[in-house]
Amino acid sequence: MVHVPGPLKPIAAILQNAGYRCYLVGGAVRDMVAGRRVTDLDLATDAPPQTVMKLFRRVIPSGIEHGTVTILFKGKPYEITTFRTEREYHDGRRPQQVEFTASIEEDLGRRDFTVNGMALEIPDARLIDPFDGRSDIKRRLIRAIGDPEERFSEDSLRLMRAVRFALQLDFSIEPRTFSAMQRHAPGITRVSAERIRDELTRMLATPQPADGFRLLRQAALLEQVLPELLEGIGVEQDSAVAPDVFEHLLLSVNGAAAERLDIRWAALLHDIAKPRCRATLENGAVHFHGHDEMSAQIAADILSRLRYPRRLVEHVAHLIRHHMFDYQRQWSDAAVRRFVARVGIDKIDDLLLLRAADTFGKTGRRRADQQISELRRRIDVVQQEQHAISIADLAVNGSDLQHEIGIPPSRDMGTVLRFLLETVLEDPALNQRERLLEIAERFYRERIAGPRQA
Ligand code: ATP
Ligand code: MG
C-alpha cells in the first residue's frame, strides 16, 4: 500500500481550506506503486497559479507560463502545477499554449505513459488511475496513454523517454507503443540536442546502459542520435564475449561505474573509429592503427554536438587518446615517468578506470588485473619520489632561460623546456638549476640558434 509522504499533508491542507484539491503526480506515484525509492515530489492542483502564489508564503514562479509554481515548505522545494490540457501540438515539440482545466483525469490524459499517468489524492491516499498504470507496473510495461501514433507525433522527446524509463525501471515497451516509436523515430531530429543529451545522461546513470543502446537501435533512434556507433556492427575484433566493435563498446559501458558519466562516455566511444581505421596487412592480419587518436576526435565531435560542457568533452577525448598504452613489466622507471608525464598525473586514475571498463568489455568479467595493479604501484612510487613529471616541476622556468641564457620568449622556449623535461624524466638527478641551465644552453646553441645561423 502507498502512504502519503509527511510534509505533503500540511501543504494539501492549505489548498483544501481554500476550496481546492491537491494530488501527488508523475514519477513519485509511479515509483511508490512500483515500490521504488521516490525522488522528487511533484504536486498538481485545480487552484490557478496566481492563487497558489497567494496561498503560500515562500513561492517562486519557476514555470508560471506552464502553470508551475515552486513553493518552499519547511526549507524544501515542491513544484505545484495547475491541471492542464495540452492537446494542441503544432511543431511536434511544444504545445502552442497551455490551457488549464478543473479535471485531474484530463490532466493525467495529457501525460506520456500509463505508468506516469496516475495521481494520489492528498491527504486520503486515494489512487486515481484512469489508464490502469497499476497493471502496467505489475506487467512491467511502458505503454503510451491513448493512441501511441498520436502521442509520438505530438512530442518526439517521448521516444527517448520511453527508452529511458524502460531502462531505468527494467520494463519492456509494449509492442504497439514500440512499433509506433519505430515509425516516428525520424521525428527525434526536431528535439533539441540538450534534451536528447539529458536523456542519454540519465540512461548512462543506470546500472546496465548497454540494454538501452540496444533498444535505441531497435527503435531506429540510434541512427539519428549516435549513428557512429552503428558503424561497429559486424566489425569483428578479438574478444571472447563481444562478437563485434558495437557489442564491445556496449559491454565496456556496463563495465564502468554508473556514477561516472565521463568514464561511461569514454568507454562507449573509445573504439568508435575502429571501423574507419580497419586495415588488412599482406599476411592477412587485421589492425586498427590510429584508431585511438581518431576515436578521440570523433568522441569530441559527438559530445560537442550533444552540447556537453567543454570540460567533459576534453576529458573524455583525452582518456580515449591515451587508452592504448601497453604496460609491460620490462618498462623502465623512466618509461613509467614518461607515461605519467604524457597522460597527466591527475588523469591517470581515470585512464585506469577506462582500461578496467575496456577489459570488462572484452572478457565480461571484473577481475583485478595484475599488470595494471603493478603499474599503479609504480606510479605511486613516482609520486612519492616527487620527481619532475611536468614542465612546472623543473628547477628552471622560462624566465630563468631568458635571463641566464638569452632565449627570447618564443616557440623555441617551449621546445627547450620540453627537451629539459624529457631529460629529467630520463634522469631525475639532473633536475638542478645549474645542470639544467648548462643543458639548456648547449641544446639551444647547437640545435636551435646555431643551425639557423648556419
Ligand atoms: P523522473 O524520475 O525522471 O523525474 P518523472 O516521471 O517524474 O521521472 P519528469 O520529467 O519529472 O519525469 O516529468 C513528470 C511527469 O510529467 C511525468 O511523470 C509525466 O507524467 C509528465 N511528463 C513529463 N514530460 C512529458 C512529456 N514529454 N510528455 C508527456 N508527459 C510528460
Ligand atoms: Mg520528476
For β-strands 141-142 and 172-173, DSSP reports them as parallel
**Sign of the CA dihedral with 448 first, then 450, 453, and 454 last:** negative
**428 vs 424, 435, 444, CA distance in Å?**
5, 11, 21
**For the chain, what is the mean pLDDT?**
94
Phi, psi of 125, rounded to the nearest 5 degrees: 60, 30
Asked if the model's pLDDT at residue 287 lies above 70, the reply is: yes
Mean pLDDT, residues 204-228 taken together: 98
Query: How high is the pLDDT of residue 147?
Result: 97
Least confident of 1-10, 76-85, 104-113, 394-403: 1-10
> What is 290-317 written as a DSSP string?
THHHHHHHHHHHHHHHTT--HHHHHHHH
Which atom of ligand 1 is least distant from the CA of 111?
30
Instruction: Catalogue the E-assigned strands of 201-335.
Output: 279-280, 286-287
Q: Residue 320 pLDDT more than 60?
A: yes
State if residue 133 touches ligand 1 by the CB under 6 angstroms criterion.
no
Longest dimension (CA), the chain: 94
Poorest-pLDDT segment among 81-85, 359-363, 364-368? 364-368
Strands (E), 219-343: 279-280, 286-287
Task: Give the residue, 382 or 222, on which the prediction is more confident.
Answer: 222
Closest CA to 419 of 447, 387, 453: 447
What angle, 0 to 180 degrees and rounded to 10, lies between the N-to-C axes of helices 411-426 and 433-443? 120
Atom of ligand 1 nearest to the CA of 155: 27
Three-state DSSP state, 128:
strand
- Ligand 1: which atom is nearest the Cα of residue 28? 7
Rounded CA-CA distance 262/313 in Å is 9
420 Cβ contact list (under 8 Å, min separation 6) = 391, 394, 396, 436, 439, 440
Alpha carbons 106 and 136: distance in angstroms, whole number: 20
Which residues have C-beta within 8 Å of that of residue 370, sequence separation ≥ 6? none
User: Does pLDDT of 67 surpass 80?
Assistant: yes
Provide the pLDDT for residue 91: 54
The confidence score (pLDDT) of residue 238 equals 78
Q: Is the CB of 158 under 6 A from ligand 1?
A: yes
Residue 6 pLDDT > 80: no
Q: Give the percent of the chain with pLDDT over 90.
A: 84
At 20-29, the pLDDT tens digits run: 999 999 999 9
pLDDT at position 88 over 80: no
Q: What is the mean pLDDT of residues 197-208?
A: 98
Least confident of 105-109, 138-142, 386-390: 386-390
Which grid cell is 284?
A: 592477412
Q: Ligand 1: which atom is nearest the Cα of residue 117? A: 20
> Would the CB of 95 count as within 6 Å of ligand 1?
no
> Ligand 1 centroid to 278 CA: how many Å?
43
Least confident of 58-67, 186-195, 351-360: 58-67
- Which among 368, 395, 384, 397 is positioned nearest to 333, based on CA atoms? 384
Q: Per the structure block, which three cell numbers stand in for 4?
A: 502519503
Question: Position of cell 517562486?
Answer: 60
How far apart, in Å, are the Cα atoms of 68 and each of 12, 47, 84, 87? 16, 11, 10, 18
Residue 334 has pLDDT above 70, yes or no: yes
Interatomic CA distance for residues 252 and 268, integer angstroms: 7
Give pLDDT, residue 366: 85
Confidence bin at 95 (pLDDT 50/70/90) = low
Backbone angles phi, psi at 113, to 5 degrees: -125, 155
What is the structure's pLDDT at 454? 58
Check whether 87 has a pLDDT greater than 90.
Answer: no
Per-residue model confidence as pLDDT tens digits over 366-392: 887 899 999 999 999 988 988 899 999
In ligand 1, the atom with minimum distance to the C-alpha of 40 is: 4
CB 265 within 8 A of CB 197: no
Coil/strand/helix, residue 236: strand
pLDDT > 60? residue 90: no
Q: Compute, in angstroms, the gap from residue 231 CA to the centroid of ligand 2.
A: 35
Ligand 1 and 111: CB distance under 6 A = yes
Q: Which residues pair with 172 in a beta bridge?
A: 141
DSSP helix/strand/coil, 262: helix
Distance 26 CA to ligand 1 centre (A): 6
Q: Give the count of beta carbons closer than 10 Å to the beta carbon of residue 434.
A: 10
**Do residues 191 and 160 make contact, with C-beta atoms less than 8 angstroms apart?**
yes
How far apart, in Å, do the first and last CA atoms of the chain sit?
89
DSSP at 388: -
Average pLDDT score over residue span 286-297: 94
What residues contact 67, with CB distance under 8 A and at least 6 apart?
A: 48, 49, 81, 82, 84, 98, 100
Residue 193: predicted pLDDT: 97
Q: Does 86 contact ligand 1 (Cβ within 6 A)?
A: no
Average pLDDT over residues 219-237: 96
The answer, yes or no, to whether any atom of ligand 1 lies below 6 A from the CB of 84, is no
pLDDT category at 92 given cuts 50, 70, 90 is low
Per the CB < 8 A criterion, the answer to whether 193 and 246 are in contact is: no
Contact 267, 361 (CB under 8 A): yes
pLDDT of residue 84: 93
Is the CB–ligand 1 distance for residue 112 below 6 Å? yes
Per-residue pLDDT, 157? 97
Does pLDDT of 242 surpass 80? yes
Distance CA 129, CA 120 (A): 9
Chain centroid offset of residue 328 CA: 32
**For range 65-93, the mean pLDDT:** 83
pLDDT score for 7: 85
Q: Considering only CA atoms, which of 225, 42, 219, 223 is closest in space to residue 148?
A: 219
pLDDT score of 323 more than 70: yes
